[in-house]
Amino acid sequence: MSATGEVRHVIGIDVGTGSARAGLFDLSGSMLAVAKRDISLFREAGAIVEQSSTEIWEVVCAIVREVVASARIDPATVIGIGFDATCSLVVLGEGGVPLAVGPSEDADRDIIVWMDHRAVEQAERINALGHEVLRYVGGRISPEMETPKILWLKENRPEVFARAWQFFDLADFLSWKATGDLARSTCTVTCKWTYLAHEERWDASYFDQIGLGELAAEGFGRIGTRIVDPGTRLGQGLTEDAARTMGLKAGTAVAAGMIDAHAGGIGTVGIGGRPTENLAYVFGTSSCTMTSTEAPVFVPGVWGPYYSAMVPGMWLNEGGQSAAGAAIDQLLSFHPAAAEANAEARERGIALPVLMAEAAADKVTRLSDAVHLTRDIHVVPEFLGNRAPFADPHARAVIAGLGMERDLDNLIALYVAGLCGIGYGLRQIIETQARAGADVERVVISGGAGQSELVRQLLADACGKPVVAPRAEEPVLLGSAILGAVASGAFIDMTAAMQALSGVSGTYEPAVSTIAEAHERRFRAFEQLQACARAIRAG
C-alpha cells in the first residue's frame, strides 16, 4: 500500500524448463496468489532439447490472467511486472516469425533449450582459441551458453542463421513480446553471450575469431545494441496487444528481466547479511550458485566475473551443477523399489524426492543423522557433466556401494547419498571460490528441490556452511516481482527493493563432531571417485 493508501501489486513471471509460473505480490513482499502451467519440451537424438516461444508466450499470458483472478484484485492495481527465464536461445525471423532450430523442421520449435548440448564441439573449438573474453566465463565457455549454439546453427542450419532477424535470450524475448522494446538485459548478455558489461561493449574480435563475424559486421543488431540493467523500465510499458492478452492495463511497467537462477539470487542475497556474505543457491532441475563481490574475482571453472549481472554495481561469479534436482530424479529411477515408491507418491500427489525426504526424516531423531542412512553408498551425481568448478561437460555420474537390495530402505539410502553428493559438489564450488578471494559466510537456498528441511540440513552438513531459508515461498518469483517493482518506481533502486521485500524464515547450521567427521570422510571419497572417473576417461 502506498503512502496515500492506494493498494498496489506487482507480478513476477518465471519460465523454467518444464513449467511457467506467475506470482502476484503486494509491496510488503507477501505473495497473494500463484499460477502455474506446464510447457512442452521436445527431445531428439544427439542431445537436442527444444521448446516453442509461441507456446511459452501463450502460457505466460494465461497464467497472468489466472493469477490476477485467483488473487481477486483489480487488474488496475498491478503497477509492474518482471520476467525471468532459463538461458535458452530463441531464434526469430523477420517480424518475429519463429524459425525451426533443429532437424524436425517444425518452425514452432524455435528455442534451443539451455540444457541442449548439441554445441559441445563448437564450445570446445571456441575454448581452444583462448580469446581474452573467456576470462569472464571462468576460462572456458559452456555449450549451455549462446555463442556456441549460434555457431552450431550457422554450421548446421545455415539458412536459419541467415534468415534470423533476432537471437534472443528467453527472458529478453518475453520483455520484447510485452513491450516491443529490443533492449537486452545486462544479466542475460553478460552471463551467456560474452558481453563485457564493465566496458559496455561487445568484443568484435571474439566474434570474428570464432566464426560469427557477421554479427559484429552488422553492428550486433541481431543480438542487442541497447543493453540495460535488470529492473530498467522498457518501452512504454505493456503494449495494447500484450495488455489485452494478459488482462492488464496498457502501459503497466515492464522490467528488463533476468535469467531464472539470478532472479532467485535477487530474491535471496539481500537477507541475513550483506550481499557479499551470501551465496545464493538455486536448487532446481539444475543448481546455480551466485556470489557477489565488490571487485572482480577470477575463479577457474566458475563463470564470471560479470559486472552488474545480478546486483547492480557488484560483480557476480556463477557456478552450479548442470543436473541437481534432475540428477536425484535420474538416480532414483534406476532402483528396483522406484516403481512402488512412485505409486505411493502419485497416490499422495507429491513428487518422489519429496516422499524420500519425508521417509528419511522419519527414520532419524535429528536431521543431521540422515547421513548414517547411506549405508556406505557414494554418489557423484554428474549425469550431465560438471559445470563448476571443473567446467567439464564430459564428466558423468559415479555410483559406488550398491548391493543386491531391492527394498525401500535401500532406495532411501541411495536418495540420501545422492543429496550428499550434491552438497559435496557445492562444497567444492565454495572452497574453490574462497581460495580465489570470494569467500562467503552462508548459503541462501531457493528453488523447488530445496524446500525440505532434511534437504537444507544435509546440504549444510555436506558443504560446511549455514544454509538460510528465505521467508518467501517462491524466491525466484519474488526476484522477478522485485524487478517489476523497481521498474514501476515503487522503490528507488534494486537494493532498496531487496531489503524491503526479502526476509529469513530459518537457518540450518552445519553439524559438528561425529557427523562432521562422517561428511569429511565421504567428501574425500567423493573426490577420489571424481578423480577415478577422470582417469578412466583419459584412458
Tell me the DSSP string of 228-295: E-TT-B-BTBS-HHHHHHHTS-TT-EEB--EEHHHHHHHTTTTSSS-GGGEEEEEESSSEEEEEEESS
Higher pLDDT, 331 or 448: 331
- Rounded CA-CA distance 461/368 in Å is 7
Among 67-71, 165-169, 331-335, 496-500, which stretch is predicted with the lowest mean pLDDT?
Answer: 496-500
Count the alpha carbons within 13 Å of 534 in the hemisphere toward its beta carbon.
12
- Percentage, residues of the chain above pLDDT 90: 87
- Percentage, residues of the chain above pLDDT 70: 99
C-alpha cell, 285: 532441475
Q: Where are the domains positioned within the chain?
A: 9-258, 270-471+509-539
* Residue 197 DSSP label: T
- pLDDT of 3 > 60? The answer is no
Give the pLDDT of residue 152: 98
- Rounded CA-CA distance 26/1 in Å is 8
Question: Hey, which bits of 390-498 come out as E strands?
Answer: 398-400, 442-446, 467-470
- Rounded CA-CA distance 520/499 in Å is 36
- Rounded CA-CA distance 375/10 in Å is 48
C-alpha cell, 513: 563432531
- pLDDT of 101 > 50? The answer is yes
Read off the amino acid at residue 236: Q
Give the pLDDT of residue 350: 96
| Arithmetic mean of pLDDT over the chain | 95
Give the pLDDT of residue 273: 60
Helices (H), 116-259: 120-129, 146-156, 158-163, 170-179, 186-192, 204-210, 213-217, 240-246
Give first-to-last CA distance, the chain, whole Å: 65
Give the pLDDT of residue 272: 60
Q: Enumerate the β-bridge partners of residue 89.
A: 112, 169
Predicted confidence (pLDDT) per residue in 199-221, tens digit: 999 999 999 999 999 999 999 99
Domain 9-258 is found in CATH 3.30.420.40: yes
Its pTM stands at 0.85
- Rounded CA-CA distance 60/68 in Å is 13
Predicted confidence (pLDDT) per residue in 157-170, tens digit: 999 999 999 999 99
Same fold, 9-258 and 270-471+509-539: yes
Predicted confidence (pLDDT) per residue in 309-321, tens digit: 998 889 999 999 9
Domain 270-471+509-539 is found in CATH 3.30.420.40: yes
Mean pLDDT of all residues in 90-116: 97
Read off the amino acid at residue 220: F
Mean pLDDT of all residues in 212-231: 97
Mean pLDDT of all residues in 8-23: 96
Give the pLDDT of residue 242: 98
Give the pLDDT of residue 263: 93
Predicted confidence (pLDDT) per residue in 412-469, tens digit: 999 999 999 999 999 999 999 999 999 999 999 988 899 999 999 999 999 999 999 9
CA distances from 371 to 184, 185, 265 (A): 45, 42, 28
Mean pLDDT of all residues in 245-259: 98
Residue 111 contacts residue 50 (beta carbons within 8 Å):
yes
- pLDDT of 4 > 80? The answer is no
- Which residues have C-beta within 8 Å of that of residue 247, sequence separation ≥ 6? 64, 65, 68, 75
C-alpha cell, 119: 554445441
Mean pLDDT of all residues in 290-295: 95
Phi, psi of 252, deg, nearest 5: -55, 135
Reported confidence tier of residue 393, pLDDT bands at 50, 70, 90: confident
Give the pLDDT of residue 473: 84
Give the pLDDT of residue 261: 86
Mean pLDDT of all residues in 246-257: 98
Reported confidence tier of residue 5, pLDDT bands at 50, 70, 90: low
Question: DSSP letters along 42-102, please?
Answer: EEETTTEEEE-HHHHHHHHHHHHHHHHHHHT--GGGEEEEEEEE-SPEEEEEGGGEE---S
